[in-house]
Every structure is written in structure tokens, then in C-alpha cells.
Amino acid sequence: MSSNNAATERSPGAGDGVVRAVEALRRLLGPRLSTTKAERTQHSRGEGLPDVGLPDAVARPQTTEEVAAILRLCHEHRVPVIAFGAGTSLEGQVAAIRGGISVDLTGLDRVIDISADAMDCRVEAGVTRKRLNEELRHLGLFFPVDPGADATIGGMTATRASGTNAVRYGTMRESVLGLTVVTPDGTIVRTGTRARKSAAGLDLTALYVGSEGTLGIVTEVQLRLQPIPEAILAAVCSFRDLTGAVSTAVAALQSGLRMARIELLDEVQMDACIAYSRLDYPRGPALFIEFHGSESGVQEDAGTFGVLAADHGGGALIRATETENRNRLWKARHDAYHAVMALAPGKANMGTDACVPISALVDCLLETKADVEASGLVAPIVGHVGDGNFHLGILFDPDDDRERLAADALARRVGLRAIAFGGTCSGEHGIGIHKLDQMEAQHGPALDLMRRIKAALDPEGLMNPGKLIPDGIVPSA
């Protein structure tokens, strides 16, 4: 990525096609089509990167049919389309780097159907995860994927989101049963069923989950739900060093403990959280854990975990069973991003992630920690270590080219190191524009197959161009 983060007023070469498309969209949407600088700027970036890509207009549809009409018009006039949800993506997925129309899906916000008996629901793409769980609570059900931010379900589907609960409940890949998708030419298709498995044809649902808006726009999602457990016990355990914390996490996983969450914070991140959230916890690396199950089961698992932690230099578990105390504990974990930003006001946070097999977790994290220290940058580590996933919040001055380049280089080394350990350059953030240069290293010849799929489904290259798959791979019609 270039260190130039200036917004582009108009996509190079956009010309008359954009003008005609905007005129047609205004007739379709009226005031729900905006070309104001403020609205376009709001939709020019997500979180995590300072770079922006200014769209030529922002469309706010309210139905799947309106999304289809927008895509038909953009297809007719050869105008790029970028889907936009809550704007919480971290790798540049929503930046309109070639101009075009930003399609804001937050107006598609209906919870269409909930079946307590089947433990599933269907929602529109703009429904947020917190709102969904509010509507599910009285039924004794919940939607478990928790990336921290109050992201939209459509955005979480597009990036194949994960989060703190993935060690027990999986990611969006396991939670999505079916989709309604609008293809680049405006065709509405439904994938999947409400059945928990199927052997009928290609798995199109899995193809669209994680496609980052490059193959079509998801407008509805059929979700698998989970029962709220009988008992929940959360705890924090502090350690003398990072090795002890990570080794305990691996041992707990290998012991088969029924953990729903196990989160690692290195000493820099823990210090930041203690200061920001006013926590009364010991300093040093820590694990945040949560057990789901029966009353006796969670107590037994917590006791076993305490023994494992003590064997690796861990202190006593600070436990929380009451809802208010558990929420306070996890709010501190979810506020980790804000805590990092408070370490260096005025700096940007290049959040990056990687994921490795748990057998490689200790070595990969220790090498990464040494790399951070050698870089001279401040980059706290926090991880969903239950599934081998960890994050860095790399702080840098966006106006300092040398510091930006150093941050970019560190983020790239994190991804390549994970690949070398048999893992992936992203466990949940996705690729966007920031990790394009790592796709070849991870996928090799399989990347060409992705290019062919992209070219087959989006031959004009209009859907979120320049993202997920390296540039120059979609031929012109």
C-alpha cells in the first residue's frame, strides 16, 4: 500500500458512465442517493487503515429488489459497486479505490423469521449482531459469533468473521446455512436451505461467505442459533511471561476443557486495558477464559484450568459468574482497541491478524513478539488463542512515510510467518487491499482458480474491484 492516504475525488476514467448511473439511481432512490462530500467521506473507509477511497455516490436501498435494481444499473453503465455495512472492516474492504457506488445496506434491517424449534433465523444484511441477540434472548437462544464490534450480519458474512466464541461455536462459516445474494448483473439468487447439511450440488453458500463483496451482494442470511447455556463462568489468569500464558492455552485445549472463549493479552495490551478500563488485575500477560455448561461442569473445568495455569507460572483465577461481572470483564477485552489507541493519541492503528495450528502457536507468537520489539514500534498482541488466531494493533504515524512503511512491513511479516508455520495470513480480518501481496504465498496455483471464479461470476470486474484477489486478474469484457 502506498503511504499516500488522500481521498480521490473521482475514479480515474469513470467519466460519463458514472454520471448516467448516478442520474438513473437518483430517479430510483430519490433522497436515498447522496453525492455530498460528507456522505461519501463517511463511506470511504472502514477501521484499521488510514487510507480512503471516495465513492462517487452513496446508495441506501431498503429491499433486496432495490439492491438488484442498483446492480443492474451499475452493470449497464460499467460502474464499480462496493457493499457497505457498519464500516468496521479492518483491511480496507469498503474503500472505493476505483470510485463507483457505495451501497449502504443498513436500511435492510428486518429480522425476517426466527424458529425456536429449528434453532435458526433469517435476517436482512443490515441487522447487527447485538440487536439480533436482543431479539433472541427471550427464546433462550443466541447468535454466538462475536467479533467485538457491533458489526452487521451481512458484513460478518462477507468477511467470514470470527471472534471470541469461535473456539466452541465456530465462525460465520459454521453459522451460515443459506443466503440471498444479488449477482453483479442484478439477478437475485438463494443459496443453501434450512437443513443442517446437504449433498445437493456445489456449496454456493460457502463460496459467498468470505468473498468480501467481490462476487455479489448478500442481502439476507439464514443463521444457525445456539441455546443459552445453563451456566457461564468467566475468569482472568495472569502469568509471569508470554510463554506460560500460551502454553496454558494449548494445554487446556488439548485437555478437552469445555471453553467457549480463551483470549490472550500480552503485557503491553494488558497494561493498556488496565489503564483504560480501570481494571484491578495484576500486570503481565493474561488469559481471559469463559466456560459454558452445567453449574458443576463449569466449576470443574475452571478448577482443572487453574491447575494447568499454575503448572505454567499462572496466578490464581479471578472468577466472575454473575452477568454484570462477566459483562464488565468482557467489555474490558472488547475495549482493547480503544485501550491501544489511548497509548499513543494521534497515531493510527494498523490492526492485523494471522492464524496458525495450535501446535505452532507458542513458537509463532514468540517470534512475532521478538519481531515487534526489533521493529521499534508499539504493537500489542491480543489473540483468540483457542483457535490459534492472534492480532496485532500496530501503532504508527500516518503522516510519517517511514513509520507507515515500517508498520506495513511488520504486518506483512506477521502474515508470511503464519503461512510458514502452516497457517494463514488472516484468520478473520480478511484480505481487503492490505494483504493482497500475501495471497500468492498462501495459495500458490490455487490463486489462479480463484481468479477464474471471479472472472466467471463478475466478468466486468465491477464488484468491489481491487480487493481480495490481486489486481489485473479479471479480464475486460
User: Do 154 and 128 form a contact (C-beta atoms < 8 A)?
Assistant: no
pLDDT at 475: 36
Q: Which residue has the cell 476505483?
A: 98
CA gap 218, 381 in Å, rounded:
32
Task: Please say whether the beta carbons of 122 and 112 come within 8 A.
Answer: yes
Amino acid letter, 430:
G
Nearest to 123 by CA among 183, 187, 178: 178
Pair type for strands 188-192 and 318-320: unpaired
pLDDT at 477 over 50: no
For residue 13, what pLDDT band results from cuts at 50, 70 and 90? very low
pLDDT score of 12: 42
% of the chain exceeding 70 in pLDDT: 96
pLDDT class for 332, splitting at 50, 70, 90?
A: confident
> Would you state the pLDDT for residue 14?
52
In angstroms, how far is CA 198 from the centroid of its own chain? Answer: 27
Contact 157, 125 (CB under 8 A): yes
Distances in Å between the alpha carbon of 221 and those of 26, 67, 71, 271, 434? 28, 15, 19, 39, 27
State the average pLDDT over residues 334-349: 92
Residue 8 has pLDDT above 80, yes or no: no
Q: Is the pLDDT of residue 66 over 50?
A: yes
Query: How many whole angstroms separate alpha carbon 253 and alpha carbon 247?
Result: 10
Cell of 157: 458474512
Q: What are the cell numbers at 75?
A: 452493470
Average confidence (pLDDT) over 119-131: 98
**49: closest CA among 409, 396, 400?**
396
Please state the pTM of the whole predicted model: 0.92
- DSSP for 131-154 reads HHHHHHGGGTEE-----SS--BHH
**CA 98/CA 100 separation, integer angstroms:** 7
431, 467 Cβ separation under 8 angstroms: yes
Q: What is the pLDDT of residues 279-317, one digit of tens each?
A: 888 999 999 999 999 999 999 999 999 999 999 999 999
* Average pLDDT, integer, range 393-414: 96
Q: Order across the sheet with 286-293: list the strands.
A: 318-320, 231-238, 286-293, 259-265, 381-384, 389-396, 348-355
Tell me, rounded to whole angstroms, the distance of Cα 140 from its chain centroid: 26
- β-partners of residue 237 are 287
% of the chain residues with pLDDT over 90:
89
Question: pLDDT (tens digit, 9 = 90+) per residue, 405-451?
Answer: 999 999 999 999 999 999 999 999 999 999 999 999 999 999 999 99
Which tens digit of pLDDT belongs to each residue from 80-124? 999 999 999 999 999 999 999 999 999 999 999 999 999 999 999
Strand partners, 223: 121, 176
Per-residue confidence (pLDDT) for residue 49, from 0 to 100: 80
User: So what's the pLDDT on residue 280?
Assistant: 87
CB 377 within 8 Å of CB 406:
yes
Q: How confident is the model at residue 328 (pLDDT cuts 50, 70, 90)?
A: confident
How does the average pLDDT of the chain come out, rounded? 93
When pLDDT is averaged across residues 448-471 and rounded to a whole number, the result is: 95
pLDDT score at 51: 81
Q: How far apart are CA 436 and CA 468, in angstroms?
A: 6
d(CA 5, CA 379): 21
Neighbours of 469 (CB within 10 A): 23
Q: Where would I find the H helices in 202-313?
A: 204-208, 242-254, 267-277, 295-311
Q: How far apart are CA 167 and CA 162, in angstroms?
A: 10
pLDDT at 103: 98
pLDDT band at 153 (very low <50, low <70, confident <90, very high): very high
pLDDT number for residue 224? 98
pLDDT given at position 331: 84
Burial class of residue 184, CB neighbours in 10 A (0-12, 13-18, 19+): buried
Q: Is 434 exposed, middle or buried (0-12, 13-18, 19+ CB in 10 A)?
A: buried
For the ranges 4-18, 133-147, 175-189, which has the lowest average pLDDT?
Answer: 4-18
